[in-house]
């Protein structure tokens, strides 16, 4: 079975631009979470979606938004990019967005903002 | 979510057991202990999780103390491919709260 997939693998943008990152969960998983990992730090939670509804939001500005589609895939959007948004963006999926559900991560999208 | 404390780094000889400690003295009764690892620039990989009892799977064993204030992840026969950052996470809600983790270096 295919794992969590993310696209694109790498992306280079300039300050002020907008970016959209995509994630496809493991088949049968209805929950998707997004994390940001800045170099040298652990991943930080951004959003969780379950059945197209936002279930949780981390401490990120409103420039960050996300949505989940009927097929449970998800997009993360970041507006007005800043240099500090350069990071590895990780998507994780699980079945039911429950505490006991294991989250499985994709390979990530490396975003570089110049 | 409770905070965890892990040593910044550890070394292990190839073929020997790697024992990675984690302190979580403020853990609540309904919070699980999860372990993930991350090999350079890849997405975190799930290893194992537990609540109270010790757990074992094909990758590792998780030993949780009776008071649940600490745990140890055991890789029984470490290989060079086990070199990674290992994260111990106490999870009470839907999100995972990562700390800095332990850099495990397996040496030949």
Residues written for chain B: 108
CB contact under 8 A, A45 and B43: no
Q: Secondary structure of A6-32 in the HEC alphabet?
A: EECCEEEECCCCCEEEEEECCCCCCEE
Helix/strand/coil for B2? coil
Give me the residue label for tokens 């990071």: A87
Nearest to A48 among B32, B49, B94 (CB): B94
**Nearest CA distance, A77 vs chain B (angstrom):** 19
Ramachandran sector of residue A80 (left: φ over 0; alpha: ψ -120 to 50; beta: rest): left
Chain CA centroid to CA B7, Å: 11
Residues of A in contact with B30 (CB under 8 A): 99
What is residue A44's predicted lDDT score, i.e. its pLDDT? 95
For strands A10-13 and A109-113, give the pairing: parallel
Q: Is residue A11 scored above 80 in pLDDT?
A: yes
What is residue B40's predicted lDDT score, i.e. its pLDDT? 87
**Nearest CA distance, A56 vs chain B (angstrom):** 8
Kindly report, residue by residue over B28-67, the tens digit of the pLDDT. Answer: 888 999 999 999 889 999 999 999 989 999 999 999 999 9
Mutate to test the interface with A, among B1, B39, B43, B93 (most CBs of A within 10 A): B43
Choose between A86 and A101: higher pLDDT: A86
How many helices and strands in chain B, by DSSP H and E?
0, 9
Q: Which residues contact A22 (CB under 8 A, 6 or more apart)?
A: A6, A7, A73, A74, A75
Q: Which residue of B has its CA nearest to A54?
A: B94
Q: Is residue A1 scored above 70 in pLDDT?
A: no
Alpha-carbon distances of A111 from A16, A21, A96, A106, B39, rounded to whole Å: 14, 9, 29, 15, 18
CA distance A22 to A68: 10
CA distance B69 to B25: 4
pLDDT bin (cut points 50, 70, 90) of residue A67 is very high
CB contact under 8 A, B46 and A44: no
Question: Does any CB of chain B come closer than 8 Å to the CB of residue A95?
Answer: no
CB contact under 8 A, B45 and A43: no
Q: Which residue of B has its CA nearest to A107?
A: B43
Q: Is residue B1 scored above 70 in pLDDT?
A: no
The mean pLDDT value for B9-30 works out to: 95
Strand order, beta sheet including B70-75: B18-23, B70-75, B61-64, B55-56
CB contact under 8 A, B96 and A98: no
Q: Is residue B74 scored above 90 in pLDDT?
A: yes
């Amino acid at each position: 079975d295919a794992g969590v997939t993310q696209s694109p693998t790498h992306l280079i943008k300039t300050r002020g631009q907008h970016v959209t990152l995509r994630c496809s969960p493991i088949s049968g998983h209805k929950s998707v979470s997004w994390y940001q990992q800045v170099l040298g730090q652990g991943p930080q939670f951004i959003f969780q979606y379950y059945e197209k509804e936002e279930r949780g939001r981390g401490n990120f500005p409103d420039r960050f938004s996300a949505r989940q589609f009927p097929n449970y895939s998800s997009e993360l959007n970041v507006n007005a990019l800043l240099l500090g948004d350069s990071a590895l963006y990780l998507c994780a999926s699980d079945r039911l967005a429950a505490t006991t559900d294991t989250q499985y991560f994709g390979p990530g999208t490396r975003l570089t903002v110049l | 979510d409770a905070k965890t404390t892990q040593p910044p780094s550890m070394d292990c000889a190839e073929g020997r057991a790697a024992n990675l400690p984690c302190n979580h003295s403020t853990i609540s009764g309904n919070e699980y202990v999860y372990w993930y690892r991350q090999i350079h620039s890849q997405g975190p990989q799930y290893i194992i999780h537990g609540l109270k009892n010790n757990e074992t799977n094909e990758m590792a064993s998780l030993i949780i103390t009776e008071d649940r204030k600490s745990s140890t992840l055991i890789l029984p026969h470490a290989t060079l491919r086990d070199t990674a950052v290992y994260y111990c996470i106490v999870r009470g809600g839907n999100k995972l709260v990562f700390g800095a983790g332990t850099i495990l270096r397996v040496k030949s």
